[in-house]
Amino acid sequence: MPIQSADFYPMTPREVVVTRHDYADGQSFERHSHPRGQFAYAACGVITVFTDEGDWVVPPGRAIWVPAAQPHAMCMRGPVTMLNAYIVESAQQRLALAEQCQVLGVSELLRHLLEQAAQVADQPSASERDGCLLELLLHEIAWMPRLELNAPLPREPRLAKICRQLLDQPSLGTGIDEMARAAGMSRRTFTRLFRQHTGVSFVEWRQQACLLAAVVRLGNGEQVTRVAMELGYSSPSAFATVFRRILGEPPSRYFQ
């Protein structure tokens, strides 16, 4: 169910303004961009973000940073409560925020700051307290750690097409030879171009694509065993080992 893209913040001279919105499962924003940078926090539910550079998955309790003027689309996986901090470009530059999309961790302090800032978003001017709160919010956003929850898309058209297909139906069972044939390349050419255009090997990229799919499904309450086996892992423990190595915690703890 596409939603018409819009900038959900009032006209304000403040460097940052925070809004809160609830969305139903499957609601989406078609490709659009914002004049301000967008820090989108998934208070509950899972958000997927699509750009020309790749796909991104935002689990519950995490956020994504989308720089100003970055074209992107969004889709809600399950009921989603989203808090957005919209940040002017001058503040983005002053705080050295990334110039590309990134999924970020969210500290307990930042969660409280976002909730508080959303309550003053519609006020025409900020009090001294609100000004301090918003400034602290900006600095806390700048301190958040980056999470490896994206799959970069190659620019090469043949590779991009088959990568999109694998993202739609990810599986560890999809092999290099199969992908090379689908792209109309030899195995050697495929592996060389894949690393050249993505910066990683196909095996690493395939694992990341499966991890993104797992995060979406686990974030919506599916069982670890079912997700692991359907994505092609040899066992739930093998899946948990990979999950923990990349995201720092086992699935059972990550979604608590």
Q: Are residues 124 and 157 in the same domain?
A: no
Candidate ranges 4-8, 13-17, 206-210, 252-256; pick with highest mean pLDDT: 206-210
Nearest to 231 by CA among 209, 204, 205: 209
Domain count of the chain? 2
Choose one of 147, 176, 194: the last residue of a domain.
147
Mean predicted confidence (pLDDT) in 67-95: 94
Determine contact, residues 224/240, Cβ cutoff 8 Å: yes
Which pTM value belongs to this model? 0.88
- Supply the pLDDT for residue 12: 72
Q: Are residues 130 and 179 in the same domain?
A: no
Choose one of 99, 127, 147: the last residue of a domain.
147
For residues 166 and 72, give the distance between their C-alpha atoms in angstroms, rounded to a whole number.
Answer: 20
Which residues, including other chains, have CB under 8 Å from residue 255's CB and lie 6 or more apart? 59, 60, 218, 219
- Supply the pLDDT for residue 71: 95
For residues 82 and 87, give the distance between their C-alpha atoms in angstroms, rounded to a whole number.
Answer: 16
Q: Are residues 127 and 168 in the same domain?
A: no
- Supply the pLDDT for residue 10: 57
- Show the domain range for 142: 2-147
Domain harbouring 164, CATH code: 1.10.10.60
Q: Are residues 135 and 202 in the same domain?
A: no
Q: Give 145-195 pLDDT, tens digit per residue.
A: 999 899 999 989 999 999 999 999 999 999 999 999 999 999 999 999 999
Determine contact, residues 77/25, Cβ cutoff 8 Å: yes
